[in-house]
Amino acid sequence: MTETLLFSVLIIAISMLLLCIKIVLCKGGRFSSFHVGDSPDMRKRKIGCVLKQDRDERRKKKLNN
């Protein structure tokens, strides 16, 4: 039981270290945004965030009423 717990903690620690390499090693490093609207390629294709599109449509309906 203890060996399994220690092994699990070791795997989690290694995973966190690998995920943070960009932040630790790069000056000004940070995780990139995972939002659809923040992606330049998605903006080129005119694809946006569903929540923003929904909010805009609700505002249009409200203004038309």
Q: Which two tokens stand for residue 12?
A: 């989690």
Report the alpha-carbon distance of residue 50 to residue 58 in Å, rounded.
12
pLDDT tens profile 32-41: 777 787 888 8
Q: Which two tokens stand for residue 30?
A: 């940070």
Residue 4 in this model has a pLDDT that exceeds 90: yes
pTM for this entry: 0.43
Q: What is the dihedral of CA 15, 19, 20, 23, to 10 degrees?
A: 170
pLDDT tens profile 12-37: 999 988 888 877 777 777 767 777 87
When pLDDT is averaged across residues 2-9 and rounded to a whole number, the result is 95
